[in-house]
Copies of this chain bind each other. A is one copy, B any other.
Amino acid sequence: MKKALLMTPGPSQVPPQVLQAMAEPIFHHRTAEYKELQSEVTERLKRIFFSSGEVVVLAASGTGAMEASVVNVLGGGRKGLSLEGGKFGQRWGDICQAFGYECERVEIEWGKAANPAVVAERLAANKSIAAVYATLVETSTGVENDIRAIGEAVAGTDAILVVDGISGAGGSELRFDDWGVDILVVGSQKALMMPPGLALAVVSEKARKLIETADRQAYYFDLKKALDKAADSDTPYTPANTLVRALATSLRMIEGEGIEAVFARHRLLAEAMRAGAQALGMKIFAERPAAVVTAIELPESIDGSALSKLLEKKFAVKVAGGQEHLKGRILRVAHMGYCSPSDVIVALSALEMALAELGAKVEPSAAVKAAEAVFARA
C-alpha cells in the first residue's frame, strides 16, 4: 500500500467531498438547477477574489481563458504588453503572436519578479498599449509577482490589467477591485481544489468596455457573448456542469474556512516549506517566493530528475521538476488548495530521506525540524 501525495503545481489534491460531487447523477444544464449552481459559484468566486466584476465559466483548461483575454481585447491597433518571467508569462506573448497581435514582450530573468516601474515606463511611452498581461504566480519559477504594485502602475491609464491567476488565485492573496485587476484568469485544478476542465475569467467594467468594442477573433471563447449569458447565470455553449457542481462544493469549503484564513494557511505552508529546504542547505530559487509553490535549487551533485523519480517511486510523493533550462536544476513543490501542514511535513521528510539516499550530505530530520518550528510559532 502506497499512500500517494500529490504536491505538483496542478493538478493539486482534490478533497473527497469534491470528488463525490462529480459522481452525483447527471443533470441538464438548461435548467433552474444549473443556473442556481452557476449563480452560487459566481457569487462565491466574487467574494474570494474581492471582485465586483462578472464571472465567466468556460469548459476549457486555463489556457483557454488566457486566449479569451487576448482575442477579445487586442486588435484594431490595440497592443499588448506582456511581462514574461517564465514559461507561463511567455504564453501571453505566444498567444498574441499566434493571432498576429502586436505585443511588447518584456523578458524577465527567470526567478525574478516583474518590475512595476517598467510597466509604468512602457505605458507612458506607448499609448497604444491596451492591456498589460501579468502572472500572479509564475509556476515555472515559483515567483509570486507584485500584482498590487503592477496594478498601481496601470491605474489611471487607459490600459487594463490582465492577470493569469491560474496557479495562485484562491490560495495566494489577490484583491481584484483594490489592486486594480481587470481580467483575472483562473484554472480549476490549482488552489480551487478541483480536477482540470474549468477555466474562469473575472472581468471588470473597464475590461468589459474594451471587450464590447473589440475587433474580435473568437467564437467558442467569445467573451462578449459569455458575459451577456453570465448575467443570467448561463453560458453560450454547453457548460461542464458536473465540474461546476463540484466547484460549488470546493468553494463552500474555501468559504467555510474563510478566504483570509486560506491565504494565511498558504503563507504558512510556504514558509515551512522554505524553512525545511533551507535547513537542508538548499536555496529558494524565486526572488519573491509564492505562497502556493516553492522552487528549490538543488545541489550541483544531485540529478533533479533522479530525485523526482525516487520521491515518487519510493516515497509516493509527486513533485515537479524544472522546465526548459531549469530542467534537473530545481524541484517545484506545490502547497496549494487542499494542502495541510501534515502534507508539508511528509514532503520534507521524503525529500531529506531521498537526498540522503542519493548521497547528499543532509542532517537527518533537519527539514522536518525547521518546518515544525514554523508551525509551532504560528
Contact = CB atoms under 8 A, between A and B. Distances in A.
A187 interface: yes
B238 A67 contact: no
A220 interface: yes
Contacts of A67: 219-220
A208 to B, nearest CB: 19
B217 A217 contact: yes
B22 A19 contact: yes
Interface string A211-249: 000001111111000000000000001111111000000
Given A19-B26, A67-B220, A222-B98, A10 B238 contact: yes
Contacts of A281: none
Taking the full assembly, how many copies of this chain does it contain? 2
Contact of A19 (B24, B60, B187, B239): B24
A189 interface: yes
Contacts of A239: 61, 196
A10 B237 CA distance: 12
A59 to B, nearest CB: 5
Contacts of A238: 10-11, 61-63, 187, 189, 196
B28 A242 contact: no
A29 B61 CA distance: 13
B196 A240 contact: yes
Contacts of A12: 26
Contacts of A237: 61-64
A156 interface: no
A346 interface: no
Interface string A7-19: 0101111100001
Interface in A1-58: 4, 6, 8, 10-14, 19-20, 22-29
Interface of A: 4, 6, 8, 10-14, 19-20, 22-29, 59-64, 67, 94-95, 98-100, 187, 189, 195-197, 216-222, 237-243, 318
